[in-house]
Structure 1
Amino acid sequence: MRDMAAKKNPASRRAGEAARRAAAAQRIGPRPARPTRPRHLYDLNPPGSYYREWDTPNGTDEEVMHKVNDTFGPDSDAALGMRFVLEYRKTYGPRVPVMAARQLDQIVVRTDLATGLAQTMDIPPEEAREHLHTLHARGELLIADDGSLWMTVPPGTGTNDRWVFVEKKADAPLETTAD
């Protein structure tokens, strides 16, 4: 009769289930920790010449821009470049692979990659550009030494312990020359 009462009492049933789970967890032991992926592209240590230099602006966006504007002027090339770095920092984290990010922007501007992505995803081209930078920041796209863009698999993904270049997504854009 007592077992029937326990079956009808939800609180008693939950307590019994919790006790069984606790006993099973104790027999099995602790779960192995899940390997964590690095949070930023810098931590993945991508290969190649485009990833040798990383810009790390110190301070808030406002502090950095104030310093650059005071030193070089708000309309200077340095101020324009710093605005790009600060924009990239929102996607890439504290360390920005400026050469690689600028090369990705050149690919976006000079090829139809972003346009095709925008049409496929039915999003504006600027959103497609941001999407490509997000994939790049996660290590799913990389710039090869020849300036081309590749879909990649970063190390630490599954059993992979090194970078794998899977598919070329865009050739390096040709330089335009003024006649």
Structure 2
Amino acid sequence: MSRQKRSKTPSAQRRAAEAARRAAANKRIGPRPRRLRTLFALKPPGEYYREESWASLNPDVTPEAAMEAIAADQGADSGVAESMSALLRFGHVYGHEIPAIAALHLDTVLRCSDYLPAASRETGISEDDTLESMHSLHAQGMLLVADDGSIWLTVPPGTPFSAPGGQWAFVEQKIESPVLTDPSEQLPVGQSC
């Protein structure tokens, strides 16, 4: 009994043709850019990321219109206006879903610790740019606020270096827990350290 070489089945031929088409397109226009997953989509663990800790920005309302409405309703110098201003500032980094309590906590901890000036000196960029970079890392899940309020370097699930089982990996504590450890005890926005 001799073995005959099997010819490609129609489905195998289709798969080969599709692979060749993708390779040609990839060569012609380059690979598709990877879609960044938002922190909201990554569903980070912990008290600072509970469902009620997130704020949603309406993509149909301009930041100016939002601030005008808050100023008319609450006053331009109110705490609500300060909080909305901070959330709008975070919006371009985090997208429409902002981890409000975690982002405000990160902002406060960075501004009130010596980490921000030290990182700014080390990298040679301004403190504002360093602060925005830290929020960018947070928005990608590379930094998280732990339940005790400390800031950790993390690896999100579904990446090559995530923890076994595709879980979050807390790699290194970057900033120790400040005096406030309860997410509900946030310093008001704009309060000096």
Task: Tell me, yes or no, whether TM beats 0.5.
Answer: yes
Q: Which residue of 104, 107, 124 maps to 1:105?
A: 107
- Where 2:98 maps in the other structure, the secondary structure is coil
2:17 maps to amino acid: Q
Residues 37/47 of structure 1: CA separation in 2 closer, same or farther (3 Å cut): farther
Unaligned runs of 5+ in 1: 1-24
Per-residue CA deviation, residues 111-168 of structure 1 (Å, 9 max, x unaligned), is 1111121111111111111111111011000000000000000011126311110000
Partner of residue 132, structure 1: 134
Query: Given that residues 37 and 156 in structure 1 are in contact (C-alpha distance below 8 angstroms), is that contact kept between their aligned partners in structure 2?
Result: no
Q: How high is the TM-score relative to the length of structure 2? A: 0.71
Q: Which residue of 29, 47, 50 maps to 1:49?
A: 47
Pairwise CA distance, 1:60? 1.5
Matched, 1:168 2:152: no
Query: Given that residues 57 and 64 in structure 1 are in contact (C-alpha distance below 8 angstroms), is that contact kept between their aligned partners in structure 2?
Result: no
Matched, 1:40 2:68: no
CA distance in structure 2 between the partners assigned to 1:72 and 1:110 by the alignment = 27
Matched, 1:116 2:118: yes
Matched, 1:26 2:10: no
Residues 30/118 of structure 1: CA separation in 2 closer, same or farther (3 Å cut): same
Partner of residue 84, structure 2: 82
Partner of residue 3, structure 1: none
Q: Which has the larger radius of gyration?
A: 1
Quote the sequence identity (%): 40
Of 73-82 and 152-161, deviating more is 152-161
CA distance in structure 2 between the partners assigned to 1:85 and 1:27 by the alignment = 45
* RMSD of aligned alpha carbons: 2.6
Pairwise CA distance, 1:174? 2.7
Unaligned runs of 5+ in 2: 1-15, 23-31, 181-186, 188-193
